[in-house]
Amino acid sequence: MAQNPESRIVSRDPENLIYAFSPANPPCCEIAPGEAVIVETQDCFCGQIQGPDDLFEKVGWDRINPATGPIFVQGALPGDTLAVEILDIRVLSPGVMVAVPNMGAAGHRITESRSMLIPLRNGLAHLPGDIILESHPMIGVIGTSPKEGSVATGTPGPHGGNLDSKVIAEGSTVYLPVNVPGALLALGDLHALMGDGEVLICGVEVAGTVTLRTRLLKGLSLPCPVVETEDAVYLIWSEETLDSAAEAVVDKSASLLAQTLRIRDEEALCLLSARGNLQVCQIVDPLKTVRMEIPKYLFKGNYPWPT
């Protein structure tokens, strides 16, 4: 999608960056539902890694995983659901990856810290080992404010946050809860490319821009963050362990199917076991995140929200 030069632009200036989702954050701007907005984002290291000599150990933890916002959405009230349509994602070259001893899924295999710049050219990511892969830009952090308290932008939860799910990409719609007036939407942590699991502790981390449009689903409450693509609906949930996250997302998915299709719980679980796909988003954040893919045809056109 071509960016509209007349669209409102929310800059990645430091005063527009947050490091925790909280109702105490003052909005950086106010938008109307249906308005296209271009949101500039920093990379997850907030630009602190510019070359191979900038090691992860030098990065200030107080500047990790910035999100641009929060954005106040007019008319959003607690109990509503905010639908965020991802119209366009553009990433800036180079991307960054880091390998850090004793961090990630196999940190014991890393003997010394390394920072690697990943050139991005013509939709391709040039990775170490002369491997060239097609870029698939996605949003790592997207969420709304919790009802109270604060949640670090590096942590996922019912409000969204650091979901690190590769299905949050151009063309998808993310459904998030409205817990406070205005919703207080914020996003960041773009990846040019990230595999399920994010096993190294990072994807190809990049700064960039996201063009989005919001709409409000008044009085609709969903059981967790949901992503809709052309072919499927994904329920996303996070817990301390993968087992507990998987059990919770299956339970929530079965309930949603049973209520929407007006079928018995065991019949909903039959559908999930026969055609649903339980997938891992990430295993390296403070909580582990999974998603349940439900093909849209299983809903028979009866979605839990207005289309």
Residues across the chain: 307
Residue type, 197: G
pLDDT attached to residue 6: 65
pLDDT attached to residue 281: 98
Residue 299 main-chain phi, psi, to 5 deg: -80, -10
Greatest alpha-carbon pair distance for the chain in Å reads 58
pLDDT attached to residue 4: 61
pLDDT attached to residue 303: 82
- C-beta separation of 22 from 179 below 8 A: no
Is the pTM here over 0.85, yes or no?
yes
Angstrom distances, CA of residue 281 to CA of 113, 148, 185, 245: 25, 26, 21, 11
Residue ranges in the chain modelled with pLDDT below 50: none
pLDDT attached to residue 62: 85
Which residues lie below 8 Å from residue 126, measured CB to CB, with a gap of 6+?
Answer: 118, 119, 120, 132
Q: CA-CA distance, 128 to 295, in Å (whole number)?
A: 35
Tell me the H-state helices in the chain: 242-261, 265-275
User: CA 34, 40, 43 angle in degrees (round to 5)?
Assistant: 135
pLDDT attached to residue 305: 81
What is the per-residue pLDDT across 94-106, written as a single tens digit (0 to 9) for each?
999 999 999 999 9
- C-beta separation of 223 from 210 below 8 A: no
User: CA 284, 288, 291 angle in degrees (round to 5)?
Assistant: 120
